[in-house]
Structure 1
Amino acid sequence: MRIEYHRTLIADQVRNEAFFAALKAAIVPGKSIVADIGAGTGLLGLMASKLGAKDVFLFETAEVAGVAAAVLKANKAKRCHLIPCHSTEFQDKLSADIIVSETLGNYALEENIIATLADARRRFLKPGGTVIPHHIIQYVAPVVAPRIDDELRAWERVGHGLDLSVAQTMSLNNAYVRALHADEILDGCRSAKVWDEIDLTSETKSKRHGETEWRLPRPAKIYGFATWWKVELVPGIGFSTGPLSPRTHWEQLYFPLSAPINAAASDVVGIDLRSSSSEEAGTHLAWTAVHKNAGGKILSRQVHDLDKGYLP
């Protein structure tokens, strides 16, 4: 069990306070039954209990479930009931007013939140019940600073007449968790565009696809693309993992290019992003960048796929 990972969650005050506020807005003291899906060490379940939930059912697996049990005992949380299995494996009847799940990653969907919440919503949630979170927006923007690109091209600088280009190609077919500064992104993040929106209160696919493009007002050198997300937990309460937002334990994702794009004024640079996530196969990511001149002629197309790279 990676207790250090759970410590980073507990240390994230932006995350914690947003979920506390969302639970407070949703819970009717003495009446609401809450299901905490992927409870970790039990923080959100304990918050729900403190806010007056009638009962809280916490789903968690493996060794961390043992830690959650000890934490609940230490807090004398009598209305909290630990269920030591994945929520999709639970076959008994459960009727909840609120489903809450913090199963988000640096790439928002890497912990399979869509499929997990869909199952919990269908089987556990009362009609008219509340799903927390209920909406995710994914953003993308071009990166115009060479810092991460330089890091990934170390293979080119090994010298001694050696060719390590095969390994470099693998490096450039990977997505990297990195903290980017606003000034490393085109127009200081003002260029960010939505490439995907997810409604977690209704049926939606775990396979995602989106594309967008930018017509550049001035020349720019594009080294890659950054993505991040914004989550709305309940209406009016949420947070973002973007470079301009208060820092969380999550960071942005950097998608490299095989070669930087030298774009002239009025050129168009676009990206096509595809992902799929499942418990069985993990998360797959692929991205294609296209550079067109002002007249629409394609000057280059770069196709990247995580299957051609390696996991960091």
Structure 2
Amino acid sequence: MRIEYHRTLIADRVRNQALHDALRRVITPGATTVADIGAGTGLIGLMAAKLGAREVILYEAAEVVAVAEETIRANGATVCEVIPCHSAEMEDPPRVDVVVSETLGNYALEENIIDTLADARLRHLKDGGVIIPARVHQFVVPVISDGFYRELMVWDGVGFDLDLSAARTLSLNNVYVRSFAADDLLDGGKAAKEWDTVTLGSDANSAREGEVSWTLAAPHRIYGFAYWWQAELVPGVTLSTAPDAPRTHWEQLYFPLETPMVLEASESVLVTLSSRSSEEAGTHLAWSAVHFDRDGASKARQSLDLDKGWIP
């Protein structure tokens, strides 16, 4: 049992407070029914109970469900019922007023939240009910600091007159959890652009793709791209993994380039990101970048893919 992972969630006060604030806005004491999908140790379900929910159903398929059951008993939360399965496996589930599911990762969609909440909207939620989170916005920005890239180029400096370029290629076709400072990013991170938005519950497409571009005001060397997300839980309550947002247990992601792109002023770079996620196959990510000159002609293109980052 990965209780250490759950400890990091419990310790994330920013996350917990945002979820509590969102639930408080939608729960009418003594009336509202709630389903907590992916309940973990039961924290969010217990929050809903403490806020006055009439009934709380907690769905959890992993072995931590035993901890949730014991925690519910220890807190005397008689309005809570723990169901040891994934919500999608539940036959003829009871309909509720609010579905909440904090199944977000460093890559927002890696825990299949799209499929989970699309099913929840169809089978678990009452007409006119509320899904938390409501939307996820995904952002990307060029990385202009070389430190993250140099870390991955260690293969070229091992010495002994050895060529480890095959291993280097695998390293660069991977995505890395990192924390970025403003100086690492184009325009201090203010140049970040949204490449994808998911309306959870309504959008059932777990294959995502988007592209954005930047025209540079000054010369820069681009070493890859930083990624983060912002989740709108309910109107007025958000969670963000941006570098300048209140710190959470989540971090940003680094999408490297195979070779840094050297852009002059008025030249541009276009990045395309795509992902597909499923319970069976996990999450697959791919990204490409195109360097355009001042006249819009393509000068260089690179395409990377997480599938190329695994040892065959």
TM-score (norm 1): 0.98
Instruction: Name the counterpart of 1:38.
Output: 38
Count of paired positions: 311
C-alpha separation between the residues in 2 aligned to 1:59 and 1:220?
A: 49
- Local SS of the residue matching 1:141: strand
- 1:187-266 matches, within 5 Å, as 187-266=187-266
Instruction: Name the counterpart of 1:135.
Output: 135
C-alpha separation between the residues in 2 aligned to 1:98 and 1:80?
A: 14
Instruction: Name the counterpart of 1:109.
Output: 109
Instruction: Name the counterpart of 1:176.
Output: 176
Please tell me the residue identity of whatever aligns with 1:269.
V
- Local SS of the residue matching 2:63: helix
Say whether 1:98 aligns with 2:98. yes
Say whether 1:80 aligns with 2:98. no
* C-alpha deviation, 1:270, in angstroms: 1.1
Instruction: Name the counterpart of 1:300.
Output: 300
C-alpha separation between the residues in 2 aligned to 1:84 and 1:145?
A: 46
Say whether 1:18 aligns with 2:18. yes
- 1:254-293 matches, within 5 Å, as 254-293=254-293
- Local SS of the residue matching 1:159: coil
Q: Is the 8 A contact 2:8 2:249 kept in 1?
A: yes
Instruction: Name the counterpart of 1:62.
Output: 62
Q: Is the 8 A contact 1:198 1:204 kept in 2?
A: no
* C-alpha deviation, 1:121, in angstroms: 1.0
* C-alpha deviation, 1:295, in angstroms: 0.6
C-alpha separation between the residues in 1 aligned to 2:179 and 2:98?
A: 33
* C-alpha deviation, 1:92, in angstroms: 3.1
Say whether 1:148 aligns with 2:148. yes
C-alpha separation between the residues in 1 aligned to 2:75 and 2:216?
A: 56
- After superposition, what is the alpha-carbon deviation per residue over 1:54-96, rounded to whole angstroms, capped at 9, x for unaligned? 0000000131001111111111111100000111111033110
- Local SS of the residue matching 1:63: coil
Instruction: Name the counterpart of 1:159.
Output: 159
Please tell me the residue identity of whatever aligns with 2:226.
A
- After superposition, what is the alpha-carbon deviation per residue over 1:165-204, rounded to whole angstroms, capped at 9, x for unaligned? 0000000000001111111000101110000011114133
* Deviates further, 193-202 or 206-215: 193-202
* C-alpha deviation, 1:310, in angstroms: 3.0
* C-alpha deviation, 1:44, in angstroms: 0.3
C-alpha separation between the residues in 2 aligned to 1:203 and 1:247?
A: 28
C-alpha separation between the residues in 2 aligned to 1:133 and 1:62?
A: 22
User: Tell me, which stretches of 5 or more residues in structure 2 are unaligned?
Assistant: none
- Local SS of the residue matching 1:266: coil
Output the aligned Cα RMSD.
Answer: 0.9
- After superposition, what is the alpha-carbon deviation per residue over 1:191-241, rounded to whole angstroms, capped at 9, x for unaligned? 100000111141331000000100000000100100000000001111210
Q: Is the 8 A contact 1:95 1:125 kept in 2?
A: yes
C-alpha separation between the residues in 2 aligned to 1:37 and 1:201?
A: 13
- Local SS of the residue matching 2:168: helix
- Local SS of the residue matching 1:62: coil
C-alpha separation between the residues in 1 aligned to 2:140 and 2:310?
A: 22
Please tell me the residue identity of whatever aligns with 1:49.
A
- Local SS of the residue matching 1:285: strand
Which stretches of structure 1, 4 residues or longer, exceed 4 Å deviation after superposition?
A: none
TM-score (norm 2): 0.98
Please tell me the residue identity of whatever aligns with 1:272.
T
- Local SS of the residue matching 1:102: coil
